[in-house]
A and B are shown apart, each in its own frame.
Chain A
Amino acid sequence: MLTIKGLSVKFPTRFGDFTAIEDVDMTINPGEIHGLVGESGAGKSTVGAAVIGLLQTPGYVANGALTLGDTDLRTLSPSEAHKVRGDRISMIFQDPQTSLNPLMTIERQLIETIQTHSDASESEARKRAVDLLEEIGIKNAAERIKAYPHQFSGGMRQRVVIALAISTDPELIIADEPTTALDVAVQSQVLDLIQRLAKERQIAFMLITHDIGVIAQVADCVTVMRKGRVMETGVTAQVLGKPQHRYTQQLMDSVPPLDRKIDRFRVPDADDTIANNGDMAEDWLLEGAQHVRTGLSLRNLTVKFAGQRTSIFRKPPPYVALDDVTLNIEPGSIMGLVGESGSGKSTLAKAITGLVTPSDGIMELGGSVLPFGKSRDRDHPSRQLIQMVFQDPYSSLNSRHKIGDILTEPLWFYGFVKDAQEREKLAAAMLSLVGMQPDAISKYPHQFSGGQRQRIAVARALLARPRFLICDEPTSALDVSIQAEILNLLKDLQAKFGLTILFISHNLAVVRQMADNTAVLRNGKIEEVGETNALYTAPQAEYTKSLMDLTPMMPTTWQT
C-alpha cells in the first residue's frame, strides 16, 4: 500500500524555491487504480516522479512522508532507492514510440530487467519473458520477442512497455498519461489490460491523466489536483458524480458529453466591459458582402504522396492520404470532421487551403472552382475567404512578432485598411471581440497562456474577413476548461457572422457540441456523413459504432 502524507516538492530557482506540489495526501491500496487528474501545471507528474524517486534535477522532496508497505521511501539511500525501482515500483510513460531502447531487442530488454531483480538464469528469464508477452496479449510471443521495438505498432509497443513494467512483479505502477498518445481503439485495449492486471495481480496503479473520461471508466478512486494542491479525493463515483469542491464542479461542467449536445458550457464568460469595446470590429466584419454565406463542396478528391523508396527497380506505390472524398459543406453551417490520427483530416485541411495539391477531383468554394495547390495564384480571392485556426497556439503565432504586427498583417496584406493607425485600432477592437484586453497589442505571444493565444489566433483569422473557417483541432492542445471557453467563443462568432466552419477533431464529444453535420474519416475515406444528432444516436457504419463504443464515457447522471 502506498501512503503519501503532506508531500511537498520544491525546485530551487535563482528567484528562490518554486513549490511544484504542496501538502499532497493520497493512499493507494493493492489492486486499486487510483486516478490522478488535473490540468497542465497541476503537478500530477511531479507526484509520480517523487514516489519513484526520479524527480528532475534540481527538484527535491521538501516535506512529507512517502511509504510503500513498511518502507519509508524518503530515507532510502540512492542505491537502495534504485533497487526499489523496478523491484517494487515501476512506471509506464506516455509515448510508446520513445520509451523503448531502439537498439535492443524486446527479448534483451525483458531479460535484462528480469535478471536485475531476480536470480533467474538466462533461459528461465527468457521463458518468463515469453509468458509475460503472451499474458499481455502478444500472439506468437516466442518468435515476436526477437524483434526490435520499431517492428511493433504503437499499441503493441505500449503492451511491451507494460510487460516490461510488470516483469519484476512490482507492487505499484505509476502510469503517466499511458493512453494519451494512442487512438481510441488501442486506448481501450490498454485500459482493459491495466484493469485486468490490477485485478489479477493485485498491482496498485497510479493513473495520471488529464482525461476525465478515462478516469471515469477505469479508476476506483480519484484525486483532483490543481496548481500543486489536492482539491478533492475519494471514490470516483463520489468525487466526479457529486463533486463537493467548486473546482471539481467547474471541471465537470467543462467536459463535453458524448451522449448529448449542450448549448453552452457553463464556464465564466469574458467580462462585458471588454466585449463592448469590440463593437467597431463587429461592425467592420458585418459590412458589405459579409452576409454572403459561402459553402464548400468537394467531389472525388484524392491526394497521393510519394511513397518511401526502398528498391531501385520498383517505383514505390504512392501513399493515398485522401481517397475519393466527396463532401458538401452547406453555407453557414458547421461541418464536423472526426477521425483517428493518420486518417487524413489534416491533409483535407491542407488541400482546401492549397498547401497540398490533390491528384484528382474538384473543389468548389461558393460555386466557383477552387484551383489546386500549386496552380492557385498568390492573389486568388480564396486566400482571403478561407482562413484557418490551428491546433498548436504555441506555434501558430510568430514568436518574434508583436501581437499588433500579427493582427494587422492581414489588414495590410489584403489591402482592407490603408492607414496604419486605423489598422491598429481595428486590431485592438478585434481583440476585445474575442475577449482579450486591447493592450495585448504591444506584447509578444510568449506573454500569453495557451487559451489566450488561441483567442489571438481566432482574432487574426477574423481580421482577414473570412467566409470559410477551418478549425483544425483548435482545442486539443488546451486544458478542458480553456477548451470550453474557446468552443463557446467559436459558437458565438459563428452565429454572429454566419461563418461556414469545417471543424476537425479527433474528439467525438467535442464535435458533437459544435457541428451541425458530421463526417467520419478513416484511412482517407469518408465512412459516414450525416446530421450530427442522427449520426451520434444511430451510427450506420460499423467503424463509427465501434468508435462510439470505445470512447470512454461517464454516466449521464454525473453531469447536470
Chain B
Amino acid sequence: MVYFILKRMVQSVFVMLAVAFLAFSLFRFVGDPITQMTGVETSVEDQERLREELGLNDPFVYQFMRFTGDMLKGDFGFSYRTRQPVAEMIASRIPATLELGVVALIISLLVGVPAGVYTALKPRGVLTQTILMTTLVGVSIPTFVIGIMLIFIFGVQLGWLPTFGRGGTVQIGGWESSLFTIDGWRALLLPAITLGVYQLTLTMRLVRAEMMEVMRSDYIRFAMARGVPTASLHYRHALANTMVPVITIIGLQFGGVIAFSIVTESVFQWPGMGLLFLESIRFVDIPVMGVYLVVIAFFFVLVNLVVDLLYVAIDPRLRIRDVS
C-alpha cells in the first residue's frame, strides 16, 4: 500500500516536472524574453548585460534547474504586460476559480450520481429515456451557449440574477470569497450551473454505465439469489463497487472543470484564473501563461493523489495484500 502511494507520488512529481519544463520552454523559446522586458530605447549593450544578469546565457539545464528552484521558492517572475509579479496576479485570481469549480463539481455530483443510479436501475423507464436524451443534448450544447442561454433567460428576460462579475465578496485572510453573501451566491449561481451541466452529463453517463456493469456481475446475482434486501443490494453492494471507477474519472474531470472554467469565466466576465489566462494569450504574456499551466497541473496532480488515497480507503484489495 505504501509502495502504491509512493509510486503515485513519484509519478506526480514527474508530471509536474514535465509541465514545468513546458512552461520553461515557453518562456525561453517563444519570443525573446529580453525584447519583451525592455523597451525600444534600451541599448544593445544594456540588453546584453541584462541577459547576462538574468543568466540567460547559462547552459540550458542549469537555467531549467534555476527556473524550477525559483518556482519552488514561490518566485514566478514578472508579467510582460503589467510588470507585476505573476505570483500575486495568479494568487488573487485563485479563489474565484476554485469556488466556481468546486460548486460546479458539487452540483454535477449531487445531480449526476443519483440520475446515473436511477437510469441504470430502471433502464427501460420513460423517465430514463427522457433523461438520456436530455443529457445527449446536454453534452452537445457547447458550454458557452449554455451560458448565453442562462444569461438570456435569467438575466435579460426575467432579470432575476446578475450576468457578470462576482457580486458581493468577503475577505477572509487572503481569500476573497463570494460564498458568504447572498449577493455573492446570486452571482455564482449561473456560472456554476453553466460549468456544472457538462460535468453532470458526463458523471451521469459514467455512473450509469458502471452501475449497469456491476449489476450484471456474479456477486450481485449471488446477493439477489440469497434474498439480500433490494435497498442494500443497490446501494451497499452495487453503488459501492461502482464508486471505484467513478472516483477516478471524477479526478480526471477536475481538469475538465478547470478547462471549461476558462469559457465560463469569459462568458460571465468572472474574474478568475481562466480570464487572466485568456488575456495573457491575447497579449502573448508568456510568464503568466506558463505559471497558469504549472498551477493547473499542480491542482490536477493534487486532486488525483487524493483520488488515489480514496481508492485505498474504498478498496480493501489495495489495503490488504496477504493471501492465505
Same complex: yes
Chain A residues with CB under 8 A of B317: 102, 148, 150
User: Once the chains bind, are A103 and B316 in contact (CB under 8 Å)?
Assistant: yes
Chain A residues with CB under 8 A of B322: 151
User: Once the chains bind, are A164 and B227 in contact (CB under 8 Å)?
Assistant: no
Chain A residues with CB under 8 A of B227: 82-87, 113, 116-117, 168
Chain B residues with CB under 8 A of A89: 225
User: Once the chains bind, are B324 and A93 in contact (CB under 8 Å)?
Assistant: no
Query: Of the candidates A90, A101, A148, which one forms a contact with B225 in the assembled complex, judged by CB atoms under 8 Å apart?
Result: A90
Distance to closest chain A CB from B239 (angstroms):
10
Q: Does B51 interact with chain A (Cβ within 8 Å)?
A: no
Chain B residues with CB under 8 A of A87: 227
Q: Which B residue's beta carbon lies closest to that of A98?
A: B218
Q: Does A330 interact with chain B (Cβ within 8 Å)?
A: no
Q: Does A165 interact with chain B (Cβ within 8 Å)?
A: yes
Q: Report B275-305 CB contacts with A as 1/0, cut-off 8 Å.
A: 0000000000000000000000000000000
Interface of chain B residues 222 through 255 with chain A (CB within 8 A):
222-230, 232, 236-237, 240-241, 244
Q: Does B321 interact with chain A (Cβ within 8 Å)?
A: yes
Q: Does A310 interact with chain B (Cβ within 8 Å)?
A: yes
Q: Which A residue's beta carbon lies closest to that of B223?
A: A101
Q: Does B11 interact with chain A (Cβ within 8 Å)?
A: no
Q: Does B315 interact with chain A (Cβ within 8 Å)?
A: yes
Asked whether A153 and B323 contact (CB < 8 A) given A86-B227, A102-B241, the answer is: yes
User: Once the chains bind, are A93 and B222 in contact (CB under 8 Å)?
Assistant: yes
Q: Does B314 interact with chain A (Cβ within 8 Å)?
A: yes
Q: Whole-angstrom distance between the alpha carbons of A105 and B320 in the complex?
A: 12
Q: Whole-angstrom distance between the alpha carbons of A86 and B227 in the complex?
A: 5
Q: Which B residue's beta carbon lies closest to that of A100?
A: B219
Chain B residues with CB under 8 A of A312: 3, 6
User: Once the chains bind, are A150 and B323 in contact (CB under 8 Å)?
Assistant: yes
Q: Which A residue's beta carbon lies closest to that of B240?
A: A103
B224, B226, B237: residue with the most chain A Cβ atoms closer than 10 Å? B226
Chain B residues with CB under 8 A of A91: 222, 225-226
Interface of chain B residues 1 through 30 with chain A (CB within 8 A):
3, 6
Distance to closest chain A CB from B47 (angstroms):
49
State how many residues of chain B have any CB contact under 8 Å with chain A.
30
Asked whether A104 and B3 contact (CB < 8 A) given A113-B226, A168-B226, the answer is: no
User: Once the chains bind, are A148 and B316 in contact (CB under 8 Å)?
Assistant: yes
Chain B residues with CB under 8 A of A167: 226
Query: Of the candidates B217, B228, B240, which one forms a contact with A116 in the assembled complex, judged by CB atoms under 8 Å apart?
Result: B228
User: Once the chains bind, are B218 and A116 in contact (CB under 8 Å)?
Assistant: no
User: Once the chains bind, are B226 and A164 in contact (CB under 8 Å)?
Assistant: yes
Asked whether A116 and B229 contact (CB < 8 A) given A95-B218, A101-B237, the answer is: yes
Chain B residues with CB under 8 A of A83: 227
Q: Whole-angstrom distance between the alpha carbons of A335 and B314 in the complex?
A: 49
Q: Report A69-86 CB contacts with B as 1/0, cut-off 8 Å.
A: 000000000000011111
Chain A residues with CB under 8 A of B315: 102-103
Q: Does B66 interact with chain A (Cβ within 8 Å)?
A: no
Q: Which B residue's beta carbon lies closest to that of A86?
A: B227
Q: Does A407 interact with chain B (Cβ within 8 Å)?
A: no
Chain B residues with CB under 8 A of A116: 226-229
Q: Does B122 interact with chain A (Cβ within 8 Å)?
A: no
Q: Does B221 interact with chain A (Cβ within 8 Å)?
A: yes
Distance to closest chain A CB from B104 (angstroms):
29
Q: Report B199-235 CB contacts with A as 1/0, cut-off 8 Å.
A: 0000000000000000001110111111111101000
Q: Does A54 interact with chain B (Cβ within 8 Å)?
A: yes
Asked whether A98 and B217 contact (CB < 8 A) given A103-B316, A310-B321, the answer is: yes
Distance to closest chain A CB from B112 (angstroms):
21
Chain B residues with CB under 8 A of A309: 3
Chain A residues with CB under 8 A of B237: 101, 104
Q: Does A311 interact with chain B (Cβ within 8 Å)?
A: yes
Distance to closest chain B CB from A505 (angstroms):
27
Asked whether A54 and B226 contact (CB < 8 A) given A102-B241, A102-B315, the answer is: no
Q: Does A112 interact with chain B (Cβ within 8 Å)?
A: yes
Asked whether A93 and B224 contact (CB < 8 A) given A150-B316, A151-B323, A310-B321, the answer is: no
Chain B residues with CB under 8 A of A147: 320
Chain A residues with CB under 8 A of B244: 103
Interchain residue pairs with CB less than 8 A apart (12): A85-B227, A86-B226, A90-B225, A91-B222, A93-B218, A93-B221, A95-B218, A102-B316, A152-B323, A153-B323, A161-B222, A168-B227
Residues of B within 8 A of A (CB): 3, 6, 217-219, 221-230, 232, 236-237, 240-241, 244, 314-317, 320-324
Beyond known contacts A86-B228, A98-B218, A165-B226: 10 more, CB 8 A cutoff: A87-B227, A90-B225, A91-B222, A99-B221, A102-B315, A103-B241, A116-B229, A150-B320, A150-B323, A164-B222
Residues of A within 8 A of B (CB): 52, 54, 82-87, 89-91, 93-95, 98-105, 112-113, 116-117, 147-148, 150-153, 161, 164-165, 167-168, 174, 309-312
**A-B pairs with the 3 shortest C-beta distances?**
A86-B227, A91-B225, A86-B226
